[in-house]
Amino acid sequence: MLPTLRVLLLAIASAAAGPAAAEPAALPSLGAPEAVSEGHLGLEGPVAWPGESGRGAGVLFADVSAGKILFYDRDSGQTRVVDPASGGANGLALAGGELYRCEGKNRRVAATELAAGEDGTPRLGATRPAAVAVPGGRPFFTNDLIAAGNGLFFTDPVYGPRPGGGPAVEGVYAIPLPAASPPAEATLVVGDLVRPNGVAVDPAGVGLYVADEGARKIHRYTVVPAAGGAAPGLVGPSLFADVAAFGNPDGMTTDRAGRLYVALFETGRLLVLSPDGEPLAIADAGERTSNVCLGHDQRHAYVTAGGTLLRFGLDVDRPADEAPIRAGARPPAGG
């Protein structure tokens, strides 16, 4: 989805919803971020790449507006294009040696062969469709996705007109992994949210978090693996957090202690919640804060904000009910 269209639609929705609730008492800050890759158009979908044999670790991320997938090399500090024609890729996820991607322009989820090059950095191969239409044949939009249980969960919100009309619901869907070829029909597993967007999974791979951007809430489900090559299911939900006082939740991720990191698109911030859903910390991340991932060693949070990839230092070894603030973190500018 083009960022400008999304901003307009969110502004209309916010006006219709009326004034937001007052924000809770001030939270500690993660400090000021470092811009590690700049000059892009509209970034989304960061995912950590572990590298190979201690080399080549970094972050894969999508420039939705430019139709590219890029890689930031942590060691060299350089960014390169790994796919110049991404099909409008948005959310990205690694599973089973493949890079799964929500291709908004192509109205599908796709899987791309992925391997480490001689320097340990990622090299992409052939791409195949993994999910192409909702039941009844209507095209997907696809926004964000995550591997959990024995399958892949992805969201399908509506942010503008789509060929063939919109779906009856803005849902969360599941497919089994590895994805079938040709692709099997996706299974609708959540159909009662206003506008599902970001998804994340807890460290145990059991709890699935879904951000309802339309209601400004985050729900938690329990993943139920299925046998015989079927898509996994979900049990729940339970309300994990109401974040309306902070902004609209977009992309999310968790750390090994179970804290949830939430990108807040409209307000341009990164919110950290405890495993119980309590606010722990917040940080200014700039215009259109769309998504977040942790680096492979979990020492940094990488955030996509407008055309910039940002990096916050973390200390995730603090107790799970404490903010993961690294000692000596720089305060925000002017703070």
**DSSP 8-state class, residue 25:** S
Query: What is the CA angle 243-247-251, rounded to 5?
Result: 85
- Reported as a single tens digit per residue, the pLDDT across 170-181 is 999 999 999 988
Judged on CB neighbours under 10 Å (0-12, 13-18, 19+), 166 is middle
Q: Give a yes or no: residue 86 inside a domain.
A: yes
For residues 326 and 262, membership in a common domain is answered with: yes
More confident residue, 325 or 164: 325
- Reported as a single tens digit per residue, the pLDDT across 53-93 is 889 999 999 999 999 999 999 999 999 999 999 999 999 99
Q: Give a yes or no: residue 14 inside a domain.
A: no
Helix, strand or coil for residue 289?
strand
Q: How far is CA 23 from CA 27, 247, 269, in A?
A: 10, 9, 13
For residues 103 and 175, membership in a common domain is answered with: no
Task: Please state whether beta strands 260-264 and 269-273 pair in parallel, antiparallel, or not at all (unpaired).
Answer: antiparallel
- Give the residue-averaged pLDDT of 309-334: 89
Residues 6 or more apart whose CB falls under 8 angstroms from that of 204 comprise: none
Nearest to 39 by CA among 61, 59, 63, 57: 63
Please give the share of the chain, as a percent, with pLDDT higher than 70: 89
- Any idea how long the chain is? 335
For residues 119 and 146, membership in a common domain is answered with: no
- Reported as a single tens digit per residue, the pLDDT across 92-133 is 999 999 999 999 999 999 999 999 999 999 999 999 999 998
For residues 203 and 122, membership in a common domain is answered with: no
pLDDT at 165: 58
Counted domains in the chain: 3
Q: Is the pLDDT of residue 16 over 80?
A: no
Rounded CA-CA distance 74/76 in Å is: 6
More confident residue, 228 or 231: 231
Q: Is the pLDDT of residue 14 over 90?
A: no
Q: Give a yes or no: residue 196 inside a domain.
A: yes
pLDDT at 167: 56
Q: Give a yes or no: residue 248 inside a domain.
A: no
Phi and psi (nearest 5°) for 74? -60, -40
Q: Kindly calculate the radius of gyration of the chain based on its CA atoms and give it in whole angstroms.
A: 18
pLDDT at 33: 96
| Listed residues 219, 242, 265: the one ending a domain | 242
| Confidence at 11, pLDDT banded by 50, 70, 90 | very low
Rounded CA-CA distance 246/300 in Å is: 22
pLDDT at 20: 42
Q: Rounded to an integer, what is the distance from CA 155 to the centroid of its chain?
A: 10
pLDDT at 286: 84
Rounded CA-CA distance 187/173 in Å is: 5
Q: What is the mean pLDDT of the chain?
A: 90
For residues 144 and 238, membership in a common domain is answered with: yes
Domain range enclosing 109: 47-131
CB 197 within 8 A of CB 155: yes
For residues 99 and 167, membership in a common domain is answered with: no
Q: Give a yes or no: residue 81 inside a domain.
A: yes
Rounded CA-CA distance 332/27 in Å is: 13
